[in-house]
């Protein structure tokens, strides 16, 4: 509202300013210079996860249940961009950047029939270094943006881009990353099914917005996103785990 009011006043005063093109007078940019987005990079790597867990149900039953054998293969996307914005007139501080976001359409218009509802999604990018996101999404682990150095002007977002599968991925990805990295990355899941043997071409842009409302958007970068593979297997094995309670172990199971 404040910006709209300022624009209204400026437009009302322009006819009274007596500005003549012959004088070479330029209208001042009252909202400062817009931000600049450059050095945009959007890449991916295919990551494979293997998780096995053993649930011991020896008491009061006489067998062990081998459960949650899970295999997952998913794309990990890394988006980064250099964003520069000059200090606005009359203010003190190194930057005027309000937010930097990664934008994309889902589903991509090129892979669905005409008339399909296309939604635009935005993921915030960060220049906060290797630390937890302010809006940590995981209740059981610390979520990182993937940024390497705080305050260097390079904004980053690293996230898993998964597609709907049956069965869907369980906790294997998060458990593995948390055990090996001591943190996790966020996950975006499209509501569309992409076969693991296929890939959809998504168009990504990076957009920077400063506190004055100025916007700069990068050119589109095409990145094929492969469908998520997920396989879960549950096996049950019978064996005597308490001889004093179950008796000897026989091929058919424990003898009471």
In this predicted model, what pLDDT tens digit does every residue of 36-50 receive, in sequence order? Answer: 999 999 999 999 999
Q: Specify the 3-state DSSP secondary structure of 2.
A: helix
> 133: buried, middle or exposed (CB in 10 Å: 19+, 13-18, 0-12)?
buried
184 vs 175: CA distance, rounded Å: 8
> What is the per-residue pLDDT across 100-152, written as a single tens digit (0 to 9) for each?
999 999 999 999 998 999 999 999 999 999 999 887 767 778 999 999 999 99
What is the DSSP annotation of 176-230?
A: HHHHHHSSEEEEEEESS---TT-EEEEEEEEEEEETTS-EEEPPPEEEEEEPPEE
> What is the per-residue pLDDT across 43-91, written as a single tens digit (0 to 9) for each?
999 999 998 876 655 545 555 555 568 899 999 999 999 999 876 555 5
Contact 68, 167 (CB under 8 A): no
- What torsion, rounded to 10 degrees, do the Cα atoms 168, 171, 175, 181 define? 50
Q: Specify the 3-state DSSP secondary structure of 129.
A: coil
**Would you state the structure tokens that stand for residue 238, as one six-digit string?**
């019978």
88 vs 90: CA distance, rounded Å: 6
> What is the per-residue pLDDT across 234-252, written as a single tens digit (0 to 9) for each?
776 655 555 545 555 544 4
Entry pTM: 0.75
> What is the per-residue pLDDT across 12-25, written as a single tens digit (0 to 9) for each?
433 433 334 444 44
185 vs 58: CA distance, rounded Å: 36
Q: How confident is the model at residue 6 (pLDDT cuts 50, 70, 90)?
A: very low
């Amino acid at each position: 509202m404040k910006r709209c009011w300022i624009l209204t006043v400026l437009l009302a005063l322009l006819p009274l300013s007596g500005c003549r093109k012959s004088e070479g007078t330029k209208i001042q940019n009252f909202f400062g210079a817009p931000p600049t987005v450059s050095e945009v990079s959007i890449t991916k790597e295919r990551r494979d996860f293997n998780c096995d867990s053993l649930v011991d149900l020896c008491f009061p039953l006489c067998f062990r249940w081998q459960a949650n054998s899970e295999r997952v293969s998913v794309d990990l996307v890394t988006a980064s961009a250099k964003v520069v914005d000059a200090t606005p007139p009359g203010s003190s501080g190194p930057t005027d950047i309000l937010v930097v976001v990664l934008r994309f359409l889902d589903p991509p218009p090129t892979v669905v029939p005409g008339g399909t509802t296309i939604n635009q999604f935005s993921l915030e990018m960060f220049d906060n270094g290797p630390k937890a996101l302010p809006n940590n999404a995981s209740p059981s682990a610390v979520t990182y943006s993937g940024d390497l150095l705080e305050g260097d002007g390079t904004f980053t977002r690293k996230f898993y881009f998964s597609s709907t599968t049956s069965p869907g991925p369980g906790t294997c990805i998060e458990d593995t990353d948390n055990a090996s990295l001591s943190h996790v990355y966020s996950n975006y899941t499209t509501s569309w099914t992409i076969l693991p043997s296929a890939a959809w071409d998504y168009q990504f842009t990076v957009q920077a917005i400063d506190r004055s409302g100025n916007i700069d958007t990068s050119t589109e970068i095409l990145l094929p996103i492969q469908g998520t593979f997920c396989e879960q297997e549950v096996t049950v094995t019978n064996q005597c785990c308490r001889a004093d309670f179950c008796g000897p172990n026989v091929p058919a199971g424990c003898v009471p």
